[in-house]
Amino acid sequence: MKFGLHFQSFSGSQSPAQWFRDTLEQAVYAEALGFESVWPVEQHFISDLSILSAPLLFLAAAAERTKTLRLGIAIILLPLSHPIRIAEEIATLDVLSNGRVEFGIGRGAIPAHFSGFGISQAESRDRFIEGLEIVLAAWKNEPVSYHGRFFQIDNLMVVPKPVQQPHPPLRVACNSADTFELAGRLGYRIFAASQVNPYYRIKEFLSAYDEARAAAQHPSHGGDDFTLLTPLYVGENEAQIRQEMEPSVRHLLQTATSLLESAKVSEKVAAHIREVAERSRRLTYDRMSETMAIFDTPERCVERLALLYEDFKMDRTICWFNPGGRVPHERVMRSMELFAAKVMPHFSEND
């Protein structure tokens, strides 16, 4: 199993400049420790949660500081941008990094993202499908023309082309039953986030993905079908872990609940948003650590990851070491060290 790092949370306790410096230092250290990849989020207009509104710029900076680290995006919110622009920027990053990009995409679920850009959230599925078709067409070695519901494109030669051919590895974020089914029907690699759905629900959704992919007769990607993104923190003992993580988790849950409860959305998505908000409001640190995250000692972390592997057969686990953003930088680095030294060796190819 490969391991990556997820970057998202900003608590406001430090300046944006310091946060970016610390996070880039974590990315560089991740490569030295043996992590395979980094995966920043794309989020907008939510200063209490994240300042990563331009993840590709962050990854360009990481590319200059590293040599082998894979550069993933978790995720590009495809419905919010013009797909030609996305195709250009992803290809440019792939060229600059000498073919290290992992192209993570999704529809998005936060209402503020859509309202802020003046886009109807009810259109997210159709915009996602149309946008992805255009991005993939733009990477072919020929001009692209496309006439759809949202975009009209005539005979454009998009440059540059990505180093990885036919395109960087593409992975779809799946957090609802219909998206798992859609990704399976289209035959794409996927990843899911356990801070959105607990592990048992992801297992149920994966069955729908497998059935849809089999029905469409898409082959496996050679063991590279599913990636799990999960909050994870390793410490010396349970008391220390709780002391460092509980305030951060509480901040994450309170921010997410407030964000969802105050969202102005259409009736089409209102029921789903209310359901997610209520689930977030009821969550506690203990409940999250039991069903949606791994906050544990190295020994218990090995045991729990092994159990998850039995259920998911994931090729990669993306670790979110600082959900909520309240854990100090030096403690995040220490947790990364513990994980690399005492957990990762148990999941090496030779183990």
pLDDT tens for 43-82 read 999 888 899 999 999 999 999 999 999 999 999 999 999 9
Calculate mean pLDDT across residues 217-245. 92
Please name the fold of domain 2-347: TIM Barrel (3.20.20)
**Where is average pLDDT lowest: 67-81, 100-114, 216-230?**
216-230
Domain locations in the chain?
Answer: 2-347
Q: What is the percent of the chain where pLDDT is above 70?
A: 93
Question: Quick one: which of 228, 214, 151, 160 has its CA closest to 185?
Answer: 214
Q: Fill in the DSSP letter of residue 168.
A: S
pLDDT tens sequence across 135-173: 999 999 999 999 999 999 999 999 999 999 999 999 999
More confident residue, 110 or 58: 58
**Where is average pLDDT lowest: 248-257, 267-276, 313-322, 328-337?**
267-276
d(CA 346, CA 81): 41
Question: Quick one: which of 72, 79, 78 has its CA closest to 58?
Answer: 72
More confident residue, 222 or 180: 180
d(CA 351, CA 345): 7
Let me know how long the chain is: 351
- pLDDT > 80? residue 260: no
What three-state secondary structure class fits 173?
A: strand
- pLDDT > 80? residue 316: yes
Backbone conformation region of residue 234, classed left if phi is above 0, alpha if psi is from -120 to 50, else beta: beta
- pLDDT > 90? residue 261: no
Calculate mean pLDDT across residues 25-48. 97
